Structure 1
Amino acid sequence: MTSLSARTPRFALVAHDARKDEIVEWVGLQLVPLSGMHVFSTGTTGSLIKTAFSELNVTCLKSGPLGGDQQIGAMICQAELDALIFFVDPLSPMPHDVDVKALTRLATVYDLPMACSRSTADLIVDGLLGEKTDERF
């Protein structure tokens, strides 16, 4: 297995509808470290990120409910990701909740760093890249 420092880091970015604006804002705050990564994202989230930050290397997959969550799950199983940033909306029922649970289960089974909030996403970026990006810590 190639070490993280020897290749471009690969992050998956996913957000439920109620948190899409928040993940786009977070990407803006993390633009410098993320610009050195390859970002994979579910359809709508990825499109919003690409529109806001055309300089990022973003690969858009299918929309989450249409298979994007499964595509990311397959990438986890194949060790093709270094982290999963998944801004979950815990207050809204999700019709594709089983897909969400499967994705988080795979991240746990394969010991993939996963963040479901802005503060843990910051910690993953800091930890994987060895850079301090948030003055709160």
Structure 2
Amino acid sequence: MTTIALVAHDQKKDALVAWAKAHEAVLTGHTLFATGTTGGRLQTETDLAVTPVKSGPLGGDAQLGAMIAEGKLPVLVFFIDPLSAMPHDVDVKSLIRLAILYDTLLAVNEETATAVMKSLSVA
């Protein structure tokens, strides 16, 4: 069992929820965190037990970054929308930077997230 954070930009929330449903059997065996709206949607649209943190722009990205820095978050799945400007872009960059710095297993799109789930299901 590991701790996984699930995050998605607004235009990617539908994709993340659909992806989570497709991988619900594997995700169920892990401790899950998610930022604001994404976490709420996962709680209502799946059977997953998700602990929500604040919305990304309101500090959720920073909360997850702190978990990474403290060694409490080994996996981050973040469906990023590369075509939309983000008002809290500095927070997103900080979260990604911390994930890289602390060698966090990081998936930023559906294909890599699926590969991560496959690796966790055989580990």
TM-score, length-normalised on structure 2? 0.97
**Corresponding position: 1:63 with 2:55:** yes
Partner-residue secondary structure (3-state), 1:92:
coil
Deviations 1:44-91 (A, max 9, x none): 0000000011x3120000000000000000000011112000000000
Distance apart, 1:118 and its partner CA: 0.4
Partner-residue secondary structure (3-state), 1:80:
coil
Which of 19, 23, 26 aligns to 1:26? It is: 19
Runs of 4+ displaced beyond 3 Å: none
Contact 1:37–1:57 under 8 Å retained in 2: no
Which of 34, 38, 49 aligns to 1:41? It is: 34
Q: Give the counterpart letter for 1:117 in structure 2.
A: N
Q: Report the number of matched residues.
A: 123
Partner-residue secondary structure (3-state), 1:11:
strand
* Residue equivalent to 1:84: 76
Q: Distance in 1 between matches of 2:95 and 2:107?
A: 12
Higher Cα radius of gyration? 1
Which of 96, 108, 116 aligns to 1:116? It is: 108
Higher relative contact order (CA 8 A, sep 6+): 2
Root-mean-square deviation over aligned CA pairs: 1.0
Distance apart, 1:128 and its partner CA: 2.6
**Gaps in structure 2 of 5+ consecutive residues:** none
Partner-residue secondary structure (3-state), 2:51:
strand
